[in-house]
Structure 1
């Protein structure tokens, strides 16, 4: 599974506004992205409730992924990697836009 490491930059972590910004960015990719802590279970990054429930706090190391079997035929590895890089940048931003 392609994965991208990121560190949550928002001072309040992925709660309320920062989580909504991130989930919206994930949804916009059209990819079935998951997010997890280092030793945690992956949760659906398209779900605001799941993201907020996992308590991804400020400075938390997370891993974004997309299971290859969940990809459509028209989605390329390069496109997935690009999307994960962009989502990582959203997570690492210090302010919820």
Structure 2
């Protein structure tokens, strides 16, 4: 299983527009994608806008994005860029 640790850079955190952009890209992937806050709870479905927003990730906090399967490294790179983009 591949994973990326990303520090969220957007002022609004992983909410609203950044979350929507993240989920739109995640939904295009054929594999399951999860997002978690390190050391605080279970991972959530990376293809669910409500689950992502429910994490309440703020600017400067770190998330772990995970995926497994063919093409997962590419998807993880793209999702990490979205989550880490200001």
| TM-score, normalization by structure 2 | 0.89
More helix by share: 1
Moved over 3 A (4+): none
CA displacement, residues 36-62 of structure 1 (integer Å, 9 cap, x when unaligned): 011131000100001101101111111
TM-score, normalised on structure 1?
0.80
Question: What CA RMSD, in Å, does the superposition of the two structures yield over aligned residues?
Answer: 1.2
Higher Cα radius of gyration: 1
Structure 2 gaps of 5+ residues are none
For residue 88 of structure 1, the aligned residue among 65, 71, 80 is 80
- Residues paired across the two proteins, number: 85
Gaps of 5+ in 1: 69-74
